[in-house]
Amino acid sequence: MELLLDLHPDAYPLDGFRRRQLLDWVYGQGVGEFAAMTNLPAAARAELSGQYTLNPFRDIETVRSADGSVKYLFTLMDGRQMEAVYMPYLDRKTICVSTMVGCPARCAFCATGKMGFGRNLTPGEIVGQVLAVAGGEDIAPREIRNLVFMGMGEAMLNYDNTMQAARILLHPEALGMSKRRVTLSTVGIAKGIRRLAEEDDLGIKLAISLHAPDEETRQRIIPTGAANSIEEIMQAAREYQAVTGRRITMEYTMLRGLNDALWQADLLAERLRGLVSHVNLIPMNPWDGSGFESSTEAQIQAFYDRLEARGVDVSVRRSRGKDAGAACGQLALKRPQAVSGVA
């Protein structure tokens, strides 16, 4: 049976007014059963039920944090597991979604990287995270206005499915999100960055997880980083910016004694010369068995001050949901079936 959420809204079954009614039930009201779509003819509901399903998940678990954020652990129909995080703020509701089960990038400090790679998520399994979180929080799906492809997986290595999901999120008859409020994060896949620059109808924002300004340190942090050198990544970023005119965010997880030296701040500032960018310094969200520690507050401040003195636009992004295991992969890593699919 086909997952309806995999379809672009323009390709939904039914015609004209009935199609718009169906889209409103799915994306406006978050209804997960065709039988509940009472303004559709009974014959149409029966036909839809025979061909499509609206639910990509076998099971959903939640862990709530004292700061209001919520970690969602999804069990897919094949038994594999992945996660999303809901983060409510005073002025917005944000969700961080996954694009893969596990991740092939294998960032050393990341719990997801330790899981290895399971499989790509389909567009509907990506979009379904938003609908499921809205249902879990008892809000309309369109109330979630900010989204980041920054959960489990490397979005650029599941490019086509991620782009399809983005188009669904942005479609005015689906979730109608603003392109300025959707961000795709990549570990630095130069080819994917260049492809994204050519997606004229999207206009979503780009974040690059750099984590170090020198090759030796970066390859210690990201074992697969040799496939895309820092210079290749920065060149792709410049080309992206030349085409799109959009500012790029550089994500930089602060790891004690590894990438937090002041000479690395100087080199990072040099790497960013001529690029309109913003650096997010991220204290590491600790997890058992990582082998890494977050930089001290004093070292983060010194690194920040050095970048700012060099004219870099910089901020410190505080992780939310530490008591809920909100760093990517922390919950799924505890489940042996998360990648293998053994339920």
Residue stretches of the annotated binding site for [4Fe-4S] cluster: 103, 107, 110
How far, in Å, CA of 323 to CA of 326, rounded? 8
**Nearest in space to 284 (alpha carbons), one of 305, 303, 256:** 256
Pair 153, 101: CB distance under 8 Å: yes
Q: How many Å apart are CA 316 and CA 213, to the nearest integer? A: 17
Asked if 315 contacts 280 with a C-beta cutoff of 8 angstroms, the reply is: yes
CA distances for 149 relative to 25, 50, 156, 178, 307, angstroms:
25, 32, 10, 14, 26
Binding residues for S-adenosyl-L-methionine, as ranges, are 153-154, 185, 209-211, 285
Rounded distance, CA 253 to CA 53, Å? Answer: 39
254 membership: H or E segment, kind and range: strand 248-254
Active-site annotation, residues: 83, 328
Return the ∠ at Cα 289 (arms to 284 and 291), rounded to 5°: 60
Q: How many CB atoms lie within 10 A of CB 137?
A: 17
Distance in angstroms (rounded) separating the CA atoms of residues 210 and 336: 30
- Residues placed in the known binding site: 103, 107, 110, 153-154, 185, 209-211, 285
- The C-alpha atoms of residue 211 and residue 185 are separated, in whole angstroms, by 13
**Could you tell me the two tokens for 227?**
């496939």
In DSSP notation, 90-132 reads: SS-EEEEE-SEEE-SS--TT-HHHHH-EEEEPPHHHHHHHHHH
Q: Is-contact 144 167, C-beta < 8 A?
A: no
